[in-house]
Structure 1
Amino acid sequence: MLLITARDITDAQAAKRTTVSELTLDGIVKHLTRGEQVWTQIMVEGYGELPEGMLDLEQYRMVGGETLAGLLEQYTAAAHRTEESVAALPDLDWSVPLPKTPWSPPETIHWSARRILLHLIRETAQHAGHADIIREALDGASTTAQR
């Protein structure tokens, strides 16, 4: 649905805020791409280390010559990498320690691959809804109207 929402959007539209939120289409695509990348890394490597760039605030907007088309290509590639990584796991009960973040509890928490995938699905669904609202405010289009 996210790819449908972003169809026929210019870079200028993708970078435009349409609500009181700081969210933009480009930022949502970039954030979801980074989410796929870091959570797949956490799931596959299982070291409990914080992946580089996981907390980087630049993941919320286009910078330095990036384009929406390029971000969408990166998103698609990250999703394919997630699929390939899941297929290579012994099973979805594969458990890994989560990386420590500023908001983590003091004890080490472990999540299964299944839980990581459910987290990615929830994040994608939530932000795809945000993207649909932003798109509708941009030009009146919505995901249901574009199918």
Structure 2
Amino acid sequence: MTPAEILKTQMKKSWGKFSDDELYRVFCLLIEQIEALEKQNKSLKKEVQTMQENSESHLKSELEQIELLKSHAKRDAIKIIQETEKISKVMIEQAICDVEKIMEETALFEQQQLQIKDELIDFLNTKVDDIRNCFGKS
């Protein structure tokens, strides 16, 4: 037997002990309790619905924030890549200029070395001629 059936059986036994007025008041109290519970139920449903809406709104807001952060991160990454490309281009251009300058300086140095070599050969040839002339005159 369920608790409800046990209560029903006990109520039938003691039903006759109560007057119609008392039973009417009990039923009125029960109706008031039912109405209060229905109001409480409605209130709780509204509260749950509000909580769900707030939760959904909060999640939506967080998702929007994540999307915004993603777009900012993407934009920042693109800027970094562009700046890196600019810096790389400048560095490559500078390296090319440095290599060209070194090549020019090397060519100038080689030219100076050849000129010094030619001057040294000319000087040595004049000394050889001077020595020959000294031996040739004696």
TM-score by length of 2: 0.24
More helix by share: 2
Q: Which has the higher contact order (CA 8 A, sep 6+)?
A: 1
TM-score by length of structure 1 reads 0.23
Higher strand share: 1
